[in-house]
Amino acid sequence: MHIGVDLDSVLAEIIPAMDRFHNETYHTKIKLADHKSFNLSEVWGGTSDDAYNKLLRFQQSAYFDIIKPVKGARRGIAGLNKKHTLSVITARPYLLEKKTIAWLDKYFPKKFKHIYHTNQAARSNEPFVKKSEIGKKLGIEMMIEDNLDFAIDIVSIGVPVFLFDQPWNRVKKLPKGITRVYSWREIRL
Ligand SMILES: [Mg+2]
């Protein structure tokens, strides 16, 4: 089957690099557990414009280049790749395409058929596509994600989702079709 794979916090361990950037630049002590919302202005304070400007600064900094793969992701992807077709569907902005492709080439060479940026993580007035639209276009039958809103969007087209447990996606009861996982080892298809 064709499996859609999210990038940040699924393949790319972005939060430690982002926290280090923020802590060293703005003298804070933010850690993973403080990310109780996916919305960075709720983690960092300030307006959503402030948060977006900080995010841009992070993406252009050396901290962005130290992002490592999520533990177990390379082995997990190598395993899935033997039987399935894999494509990356990330909310990252279009302007990061070059950096994203270079990072995937480094850590996951030739593992993904397509790499789609939906631009949902760009400024809110920019055009974007929904992950479900890309999923439909590609004929995705399964998605691996960490953002609950995106997971809900994907199940709305009848595609089941593995949701990587993170502080920002903890809810009492997950909608039907979404299965919480704690590590790549749990994803055997
Ligand atoms: Mg993600």
> How would you class 157 by CB atoms within 10 Å of its CB: exposed for 0-12, middle for 13-18, buried for 19 or more?
middle
CATH code for the domain in which residue 82 is found: 3.40.50.1000
Residues 76 and 143 in one domain: yes
How far, in Å, is the centroid of ligand 1 from the Cα of 93?
13
Cross-strand pairs, 68: 13
Summarised one tens digit per residue, pLDDT across range 98-129 is: 999 999 999 999 999 999 999 999 988 899 99
Domain count, the chain: 2
Residues 133 and 77 in one domain: yes
pTM (2 decimals)? 0.96
Among 51, 66, 81, identify where a domain stops: 66
How far, in Å, is the centroid of ligand 1 from the Cα of 82?
23
How far, in Å, is the centroid of ligand 1 from the Cα of 70?
11
Furthest CA-CA distance within the chain:
46
Summarised one tens digit per residue, pLDDT across range 52-81 is: 999 999 999 999 999 999 999 999 999 999
Residues 50 and 116 in one domain: no
